[in-house]
Structure 1
Amino acid sequence: MTAATLSPLPEDKQPLVARLIDGLEAPTLLWLSGYLAGVAGQRQPSGKPSAAEPAAVPEAQPRLTVLYGSQTGNAKRLAEDLGRRASAAGLAVRVVRADAYAAREWKQERLLYLVISTQGDAEPPDDSRALVEFLSSARAPKLESLRYAVLGLGDSSYPNFCAIGRQLDERLAALGAQRLLPAGEADVDLETVAHPWLEQALQQAREQLKTSAPLAKVTTLRTARIAPVWHREQPFQAPLLLNQRITGRDSDRDVRHLEFSLDGSGLHYAPGDALGVWPTQSPALVDAVLNTLKLDGDTTVRVGSEEHALRTWLSKHRELTQLTRPFFAAHAERSGDAPLRELLAPAARDTLADLFSRWQVLDLLRRHPAEWTAETLVAALRPLAPRLYSIASAQSVVGDEVHLTVSHVDYALDGEARWGAASRFLAQHAEGENVPVFIEANERFHLPADDRDILMIGAGTGVAPYRAFVQERAERGAGGRNWLVFGNPHFHSDFLYQVEWQAALKSGQLHRIDLAFSRDQAEKRYVQHRLIEQGRRVYEWLDGGAHLYVCGDANRMAKDVHKALVAIVAEHGARSAEDAEAWLSQLIQRGRYARDVY
């Protein structure tokens, strides 16, 4: 018996409901269900209260709204943590994702905390683009009655660290809102700034919401999930089952296919989620840093409640392969090097960004000598953070395993080897050895629940989640078409998972594939060029309801793909560039244009 058969709706009304919920995500559907329950309660005959009607909350009860914009899950996790703490303190609180927050609510809001990340070069998270655009526009209302605070999340290895959080903090103040706390700017080591900020924010909320109301419950506008036993702070030791290079011998890229066992962990993931990996720094790199600074690795260093030998701090707890602006500034001050300090000026932003893309901590220490003690070095270096990799397998197919596609970052700088922390850590692991891992959900990059067509765009290791997508859709017999657009330098050496894609095409699991091998011809060809060539077909798919996914480099590929999409929608949809941009923004808000970029 079908759901339609059981429905009390008249048959002619059922298509209207289907059109209403078309493309809506879970948070919006949950809000809609509550709204409809309220309407039903109002229409209930007098004296016959509805059993489904929720208990009314007095309108006068003051409330805290925690609004978040998150790309990788960190902002969401912190916002939900703040919501739980506020609820436990007896405060009325709701936690809302940015794309589920209606613009009209700003006028009525009285107390709001915003937790938002900055992506790449000063880009907002995809779920926050509409919110940032609205607040930045002339349509944003005056907010004299609003009290607020902003916690920005970012990565200090980028020049525009926490730019979106800073921008929104200043904008809310310009609209007349009262700032309760200075904007927090948390690096990838969230504990250093975020946790103290959350404590201050909670204290401010207590003072602002002085109420004798009974203990409140936090309302989170998303489906609740039970916290797993293994998580970021307590990773699972996953045995490595396979470590296989999948690029050719003549390729200048070392890309690995890695398979891990999750047997006994109870961990579950969906296609589109990420696997977090906690790396350990290479012993050779740690030795090089110690030798350069003439420090003893056995020196005991205490920071807060933690105490380790210096070598242990540098191996397991501190970032060495990525330069950050705070450490660069601290080293420039210690070195007394005037040209080094000049690189911190706004005018030198591009030069500093280029330097950060090539240099590691060791390069700065060697080229601009300065005195460091073991204690000051540990205090100045950024804490080591886990790396997140898009999962390249569907659990419905591989069971208690999880697969990754990892590019081993390995290059030479002035004739000396340099490498990425996590990619080298993984590449050097032998089969049978354990790797500390956890699952990071990426709800905005999941497959559609129905059988819609999907268009998957990715370059290099950005193809990883699409392997999971095709596996999952084939396993569940989804009827939608699957189109992959993939790019890499060379066909013969860099066509990742070539045999699998060809088999998927032959079996009908993959319906179309377009390839862009940039260096196989005189004129470089990238995925955006393939999209332009197939522009009419791309637009027909999108206009027909297809979901669009982009995975890979945020600063080049993803931006170039977006520009190509704007041009395609403008040409084949007979729109201006501005209207084409707005049309794509609508797809983002509806969850039909999702990006997993880094």
Structure 2
Amino acid sequence: VEFWGLMVDEQPMFSNEAEQSPLQNLRYITFGLGNKTYEHYNEVVRKVDNRLLALGAKRIGERGEGDDDGTLEEDFLAWQEEMWPAFCEASGVDESNAVTGPRQAIYGVEELSSFDQTKVYLGEIGEWLKEGAPKVYEAKRPYNAPITSKELFNGGDRHCLHLEIDISGTNLSYQTGDHIAIWPVNNEVEVNRLARLLGLEDKLDSVIHVQALDAAASKKHPFPVPTTYRAAFRHYLDICSVASRQVLVSLIEYAPTEQAKEALKRLATDKDEYRVHVGDVTRNLGEVLELVSGSQENFATVPFDLIVESISRLQPR
């Protein structure tokens, strides 16, 4: 709030006595998030950028603007391709001599040989309640309500369902305007496809524990654990979403053949190739890996923690 107030104040106060350019020692990079369906598209980043420049700051590279109604990730990647060379130049870094270090894992994955089967999550959303604890339902522990439905019209072209959602005995009450979330489940065909391509087909029901390696991480687990590979693919990870270019880049080094590596590299680095073969036809990760490797090869060397890191959590509809 204070920063925004400083940006819109006609006569902001600075400790620096340089009245014309109080921010002359500030260099910055900026990328805005917006949606073109709104009247004031990326208005905040535009105002902040113009104000910083007026106060003497120096922007590195061009201002980026992402459109959430379009291809937000593509907007970011296109901006990033131009931004990094500009950043290296401004920092005096020779980009051609940059050395990429080993990947730093965010999560640790352990396959369990000893566990309490009754405590294994197989699609449950909320954490198990301690024995004797009262059942309280909320966003993080939703109630899986029984639903009954019946067709209101018989015959003809009209299709109308009457749905009844049973929340009796839950201490929940419905008020007009309340939202009901539908938790999707990934198709078993897609679950098996991705498992096969990652070399996990025979381990789908193995019990795993996934935990953040950073002890200070605010979120210790990406989804309820312990669970199984099958449950993670079916209930917790959005494996049916379109595979992003960033994810494809991270998987290039794990390609099983040189041919697969080159094909994946083209999709990951050429935005037109990506658009034609992935974006426009909405191919998910499993479909892309199958496209580049064929039916006989797989990406079995890909660490499962990289998959967890790369695929977002399945969200309610």
Query: When the two structures are superposed, what TM-score results if normalisation uses the length of structure 2?
Result: 0.48
| Structure with the larger RCO, 1 or 2 (CA within 8 Å, 6+ apart) | 2
Normalized per residue, the structure richer in strand is 1
Normalized per residue, the structure richer in helix is 1
